[in-house]
Structures are given as structure tokens and as C-alpha cells.
Structure 1
Amino acid sequence: MRIIIVGAGEVGFHIARRLAVENKEVIVIDKNPAALKKVSESTDVQTFEGSGCSPRVLQEAGVAGGDILLAVTDSDEINIMACVYAGKLADDITLLARVRGEDYTQYKHLITEGEPGIHRIINPDQEVVDSVLRLMSVPGAVEINEFAAGKIRLIGVRLPVGSPVVGRQLFDLRDVIGELGVVIAALVRNDELIIPTGEDVINGSDTVYFACDIRDQDEILKRFGIRPAPIKTVFIVGGGNIGYKLAKSLDNKFYHTRLLDANPERCGFLAEQLNRPIVLQGDARDQDLLREENVGELDLVISVTGDEETNILACLLAKNLGARETITRINNFAYMPLIEPIGIDHLVCPRLSAINSILHFIRRGKVMSTASIKGEDAEALEAIAQDHSSVVGKPLKDIKFPKGALILCFQRGDEVVIPRGDTVIEPNDRLVIISTRQNITKVEKALDVKVEFF
């Protein structure tokens, strides 16, 4: 597979680095020589200096022989034009563009329909809003990903003191869970991600990732000893694209929402567009303002300004005042490992959301969606089982799947199936699989062709 990436920023750099490990042919185009130098020094990929929306540059970089073009610069216009020219220069190339501006996303049919149509518009702002809404649906969860059109969830939780599953081998989990359909997908212990076997024991300090039918989610949480109080009071810091979209999503009777922004003109726009949320003008780093707004009594504070330092500080101040949960927006990947240790509950990252949206187009086999687990340590994939795949037509216990990978569950028709050892996967089953990053290539092969692993 030959993949051309236009843009050597954070998104382009991390996709290139990830794909280079998987032995794919990657070419990165950017007009910034310093950005290209960083890519070439850190990854085994080709680089090409020039504008990604120049037909000449695209042609000289070999777009005609490419399978996928990813346009992921910070400019919507460059991304769109790069895809348009690449579609003219190459036959049967898949075109993906990162586009954030409302002026384009509201009229995306104009650039996705016709010839050459962009196959997928990736809007990281909307992906972040969806991530926040999922986290709000399970208070206390550290991470939530959805598959099979929302019917299957992969949820990460920290277990409370005295949880009945602590100290149990996974083999014995049904003594606590009963016949509810659930499978433990991963354990995070001492910052290390483990894809467990039935002999592994759950420790009290573990973060536990489990997959289940969304209809069983609440009962499973109860049997884990988790009884989260619902979120009703929300304080959003930042009225930009993400903050506005989020406030719009919460503009209903269930939530009492306040939205804070530093720009008076933006506050005027927000007040006109929103019905129930209260719009405030001020600096989120002003502790007196936060006290006046009784932030310490709120269920959730979400800071999604364009400035990472403001987001982090606002959440730390809110947490110090007593806010129950906090979510911060982070763009710099280097900051991610620091968020939990300093006391912020959750992070959302538009760039990581964009990467997740892109990856399933790159995977071999009929992969429908992907999600990074614990940053980039592991990946969950949703894939359609094909009749020529290694995973089809034999009991699960006889499938020699690569170590560090696990078939969690699947959807067959309208039914969500938590498999046992004698379960046989059939063609067109919608599988949810988790794998460590090192084994992704082997999982792709198993989904795509008949192979055996020893």
C-alpha cells in the first residue's frame, strides 16, 4: 500500500510514524523543510518538499501510483485542493481531507459528490464533541469508544475500593457478572497496557477496559461496584468551534450549562445562537471569577479553548475548587502523559481524533472503524468478517490469532454476541478486535487472507 500524506504537522507526523512501523510505503509532502526534517529523522518514510496543493509537486511525488492520499494540513483550502488535484492525477486513489471550517462542512456534498469526489471529510472538532458526549454518558469512565453503529461499547474504568471483581481471575469473572455479556479487553497496570488471558487477575489499581452490548452497560458497571451519579451541571470554557458545538448539543432541559469565553464579540454571537445555556464573558484563569460562578459545586468542567495552557490551568483551578470531573482539550501529544498525574480526569485531542478517523481507511481487510486505546499503545478495530479470512469458519479456540490481540465480540444481524471458545465466526459478522500496536499488521493479514500464526 502506497500512502501520500500532505502535511507534516502533528497529525501527518504521527500517522507517518505509525504507518512506518507497519512497513507501509509512505510519502510525506510539506513546504516546511524543518517539519520534513523532523519526520525523516524520526521515521523511515520518504519526504518531498513543496506545496501539497500543487499539481506539479503531487505528480513529482508519485501520486499517480498511490492508493490513499491524506490531506491533513492546518489549512482546509490546501487539503481540499490537494484532494481535487490528486483525484485528477491518479486513478482509483482514496481521498481523505481534514476539514474544520463550517463554511466547508455545511456544504460538504459539493466536494464529496461528483468527480473527483473526496471520499471522507474528517472534522476533528466534531469528533471531540462526540468524545465528550460519550464520556458524559458514563460518568467516571476514563475512555469510551463505540462500534457497530453504537450498539457495542469499549469502556475503560478505574475500579472503586472494594469492587467485587478485584482479586478475581478472569476465568472466574462470571461468578460476579453472571450471564451478562462482557469481555475484559485490556488492563492498564503501572502505566503498561496488558491484553489479558483468562489466568490474569484484576488488581485494585488497574484501569479495566471491557466490551459489552450498550444495553448491558449500566448493569455491568453496578456489578463492578461502580454507581456513578449523573452529570447535570456543566461549565464549558471556550466558545470556539468545539465549545459552541458542545453547548449546542447540551442545549436541552436535562443539563444546566454555562459557557465562558474571553472575547466579548464571540459571547454576543453565542448568546444569540444558544437557548438555555448561560453565556459568560471572562478569563477562565481568574480564580475569583470561578468562585463567583460556584465552579467547585459543578459536576463537570470542560475546557476547550485553543490554548492548551489555559485549558490545563482552568481545569486545575476548577478541580482545586471542588469540581467533580474535568475534561481538557490537548493538541500537543507530548502533554498527554502529564494530564492524569497532575489531577485532570480526562483529555480530548482533535489531532488524535483525526488520526482515528483516518486509520480504518488504511487497514487491510474490511475495517469499518478504529480507535486508539491509551494514547497509541493499542488499537481497537471494527471489521467485517470475510469468507476468505483466517478468522471465519472455525471455533474461536482454534483460531491461532497473534499474541497481544483478542476478538472481543461481534454483531450478527441485530444481535451482539460475546463469544466463547466454541463460538464460530461467520462471514459478514461485524467483529470488534483489540490489538497491541506491534501486532496490527498480523491482525490485518488475518482479516484479509487465510494465514496461520504459531
Structure 2
Amino acid sequence: MRSFWRREPSKATQSTIVIAGAGEVGFHIAKRLASENKQVVVVDQNPAALRRLADTLDVQTIEGSASSPKILDVAGVEDADIFLAVTDSDEINIIACFFANILNPDAVKLARIRNDEYSLYRDALTGETLNISMLINPEVEIIKTIERMVTVPGALEYSEFVGGKVKLIGLRLKEPRYAGLSLIKLREEMGDVSLIIGAILRNERLIIPTGRDTVEQGDLLYVVTEDRDIPEICRAFGCEHLAIRDVLIIGGGNIGLKLATLFERKGYHVKLVDKDEDRCQWLAGVLNKTIVLKGDGTDQDFLLEENVAAMDLVVSLTGDEETNILSSLLSKNMGAKKTITRVNKTAYLPLVRAIGIEHSVSPRLSAVNSILHYVRKGSVLSTVSIKGEEAEALEAIALEKSGVVNKPLKEIDFPKGAIVLCLVRGDRVIVPTGDTVILPEDRIIILALRHAVSKVEDALAVKLEYV
């Protein structure tokens, strides 16, 4: 057992989080939380993975197996607020949660579980013996992400809050007549359509705007709105709002199978492609309406033969990033209306956007997003990452003793880099102004840059003044 130490931060206002697993998921959760002044301890058996963490992040690392109660005791699980078991082994994650529950029954415990068989015993895993708060399956999470993406075909990103009452969608502004307009003027031009621009992505820079900021053609606008106004907003911005009917899935692994099953239920016409003949025969036996094809998604002749130009959606889901990127680029260039690309390494995400692939998904990033709202303090109910990891949209309940209630928004000393997007009071969605007053039990949707997230958490939890 070995520990790598960096400076010891003050524990007075910090949450303590123990992470079992220093792989991609563990690394990115640790990176996000350490940047928010949380005390993070990471346990892993791989010294190289731990050294990468210790060299780049302000975290404590402990070398050893997370399935060892002694190692968990050394890691400080007994005093932790949250325990995250995200190693590559389901069995180690389950055993780690078992001992973590003995050491600290009150800690929030989350486990990464990829084997569907374990999911059948969810009640046992989340019951008193293990007391796991949430089971995270990266394959399931990526399916949910793709499902959100196809809900509004013209959107590059799509999230729901307050049980679906509020939508946050990322739309590319293609309509030139709005270029140069301030946000105030843009809302006037849109008439009775309910919308608020929460963020602007321009030249890979994320801007939290004021009403006087302008929009430019090609900007990616993060718009908060309601269902009824989405088609009108898509039309106004020059985005196609076409229904999806014909789908090609490249990659017949577990994720491809799950997605084909989902799309069958939605009534889509689905083709599923895989290189392995035995896998294709098996897939054809378990799927009902999907046409299973043996082929190579990077073979231009094959794509031409399967009429990829007529596809409303092509989803590339193989385990190889290069294959996914190439098949998406080929499909897009041959006329497919929309492509979604699986990218395992989150460091690749900005690169794929730069070469023209705007719709990408990462199993690891999807898992991180699912974990985050359990980590957030106070009344935060859900969180969604914006532009990878640069910002978050948070849904929270306004607590009676919070520093944000019972006074106009313009009088709240909110941290720089954060904005209240909307409120939901009962069944009513309110687009706020400076005179809007947040009442206890209101649902609040807030967008915050990464550096402002921890201050937003504190403001929601207790009365707090920022200096």
C-alpha cells in the first residue's frame, strides 16, 4: 500500500469524497470535484493511474484494492460524505460498497455496474445490506444520452428538467437575419415564443450572456424553453426539425443492441451493421424488426449499397474511436441527415467537433453526469454538463433558509459566471427578470460555469455572502 500526497486543504467547508477507481470515470470525477474545492481521495491498484492523478490534480491517492476493508479504512471512508465505486470490475465495486456500508452506513454510496445480470437484483443491491444509493451502468447512460439527442433532431444537445416541463436545448444559429442582435432584441423578434438564452458557445468559448450581449451566425445557443415552442424556435434559428424514421447503427455490441431495441419500440426502421458474422447471426435472432447486416461501416461502397444518403440518423457505436469517426464522416458526406459518434476518450471530444462532428457521446462522460447530482450539496436534484465539462445546468429546490429566496434576483449577490434560467412554481414556468422573487419550494434552473458551481451550491444550501 502506498500513498501519494499533495497539499492538505482546509476541511472546514469541504465535502469529503472517496473514489474507488482511477480509470477514465474516476479521473474525470476527481478532476471535476477537486476543482470545486472538495476533498477527494482516490483508491486504485494501478500506481501509474494514481501517479497521473497525483501529478495533475489536488487529490490524495492510495494504492491498494478497494475491496479491502483495511484500504477503505485508510482512505477515510468512515468520515466520508460520499463513496463512489467506479472501478472496471463490477465485483470489486459491489464488495467495496459492502465494506463501505459497514464502515459508514450514512455515506451516500454509488456503484458502477455494467453486467445486466446484477441489475436484475437492484433491490438487493440498494437494500439494507449494501445500501447503495444508485447503480450506474455506462451503457444504459449512453443510451439515455442518445435518446435525448434524437428527441429534437435539430438540436446538438438536449436535456429535461422538472419532469420534462423545462427543456434545455443547444441549437446552432443558422439564420443570418438575427446576427448582431442583442438578446433583448432577439426575444422581441421572437414574439410570443418563450425562450431564454442561457449560454453562447462561440469559437469554442462558452459565454454566460447578459441581455446586452449579441448573437452571431454560427453561434451554438443554449436555449431554455417549453415543448410547445421548440418547433418554432428551430424554424426561426434555421435548424431542421425533421422526424426520424430510418436509422443505421454501426456496431453490434451491447450498446448497439440496446439502442436497436429502443428504436424498435419507437417504431423506427433500423439497420444494424457489424463485421462479425457470428455476432450478426446472434443479433438477428434476438432482435425483432431490425435488419442485421454483416459489413464495415468505413467501407464507402457498403454505405452506398445500403443507401446511407436516405438515412435520417447514423449512429457509430463500435469500440474503436477511429472507426466511429471515419464512418460518421463518410455517412455525413454521403448525405445522411444526422450522425452521432461514440467517443470513449473525453480528450477527443473537442477534436471531433473541430472536424465537423457535432453530435458525439462518451460512455464515461454520461456516467460522470449521472453521478454528479448525488455529489452536489443542498437541494440540487439534477445536473447536466454543458460543453463537456466547462459548465453545468442545475435543477434545485429553493429552501426556506437559502440565501436566494424572498428577494428580487437583482438583489441576490450571485457568483459571477452563473445565471438563473427559469423558475417553476406549481405548473407555471416563469422566465425571470431582475424583479422576479424566488419563493421557498420553487424549482430553480441555474446555469453555472465550472468555477462558480461550488458557490452556487453554497448559496442554495445556506445564506451566504460572496466577497
For the aligned pair, the TM-score class normalised by the smaller chain equals over 0.9
Q: How does 1:392-411 map to 2 (within 5 A)?
A: 392-411=405-424
1:188-240 deviation per Cα after TM superposition (whole angstroms, max 9, x unaligned): 11110000001101111211111112232222223334342222211001122
Q: Give the CA deviation at 1:168.
A: 1.4
1:358 matched to 2:365:
no
Q: Give the CA deviation at 1:247.
A: 0.7
1:429 matched to 2:445:
no
Higher deviation after alignment, 12-21 or 43-52: 12-21
Where do 4+ consecutive residues of structure 1 move more than 4 Å? none
1:1-24 deviation per Cα after TM superposition (whole angstroms, max 9, x unaligned): 110000001111111111111111
Q: How does 1:371-390 map to 2 (within 5 A)?
A: 371-390=384-403
Inter-partner Cα distance in structure 2 for 1:151 and 1:276: 33
Inter-partner Cα distance in structure 2 for 1:280 and 1:345: 26
Q: How does 1:23-34 map to 2 (within 5 A)?
A: 23-34=37-48
| Aligned counterpart, 1:103 | 117
SS of alignment partner, residue 368 of structure 1: strand
| Aligned counterpart, 2:87 | 73
The letter for the 1-side match of 2:391 is A
- Native 8 Å contact 1:176 1:223 kept in 2: no
- Native 8 Å contact 2:231 2:241 kept in 1: no
Cα 1:253–1:446 change in 2 (3 A) is closer
| Aligned counterpart, 1:347 | 360
The letter for the 2-side match of 1:273 is V
Inter-partner Cα distance in structure 1 for 2:254 and 2:444: 34
Q: How does 1:152-191 map to 2 (within 5 A)?
A: 152-162=166-176, 164-191=177-204
Structure 1: 5+ residue stretches without partners: none
| Aligned counterpart, 1:112 | 126
SS of alignment partner, residue 203 of structure 1: coil
Q: How does 1:8-157 map to 2 (within 5 A)?
A: 8-157=22-171
Cα 1:8–1:210 change in 2 (3 A) is same
Inter-partner Cα distance in structure 1 for 2:216 and 2:20: 44
- Native 8 Å contact 2:87 2:112 kept in 1: yes
- Native 8 Å contact 2:153 2:240 kept in 1: no
1:193 matched to 2:206:
yes
- Native 8 Å contact 2:343 2:360 kept in 1: yes
Inter-partner Cα distance in structure 2 for 1:67 and 1:397: 34
**Residue number among 289, 295, 302 corresponding to 1:276 in the alignment:** 289
**Residue number among 219, 239, 245 corresponding to 1:226 in the alignment:** 239
Inter-partner Cα distance in structure 2 for 1:422 and 1:223: 29
Q: CA RMSD in A?
A: 1.5
1:323 matched to 2:308:
no
Q: Give the CA deviation at 1:397.
A: 1.9
Q: How does 1:294-305 map to 2 (within 5 A)?
A: 294-305=307-318
**Residue number among 244, 255, 271 corresponding to 2:268 in the alignment:** 255
The letter for the 2-side match of 1:76 is D
Structure 2: 5+ residue stretches without partners: 1-14
Inter-partner Cα distance in structure 2 for 1:309 and 1:79: 30
- Native 8 Å contact 1:30 1:49 kept in 2: yes
Q: Give the CA deviation at 1:179.
A: 2.8
Q: Give the CA deviation at 1:410.
A: 2.1
1:320-352 deviation per Cα after TM superposition (whole angstroms, max 9, x unaligned): 322221111011012111112222231001111
**Residue number among 216, 222, 231 corresponding to 1:209 in the alignment:** 222
1:40-71 deviation per Cα after TM superposition (whole angstroms, max 9, x unaligned): 00001000000111112111222111111001
- Native 8 Å contact 1:311 1:328 kept in 2: yes
Inter-partner Cα distance in structure 1 for 2:394 and 2:122: 26
- Native 8 Å contact 1:252 1:276 kept in 2: no
- Native 8 Å contact 2:172 2:237 kept in 1: no
The letter for the 1-side match of 2:67 is C
- Native 8 Å contact 1:388 1:450 kept in 2: yes
**Residue number among 275, 287, 290 corresponding to 2:300 in the alignment:** 287
Inter-partner Cα distance in structure 1 for 2:86 and 2:266: 38
Cα 1:119–1:291 change in 2 (3 A) is same
- Native 8 Å contact 1:30 1:48 kept in 2: yes
SS of alignment partner, residue 440 of structure 1: helix
Q: Give the CA deviation at 1:253.
A: 6.9
- Percent identical residues: 54
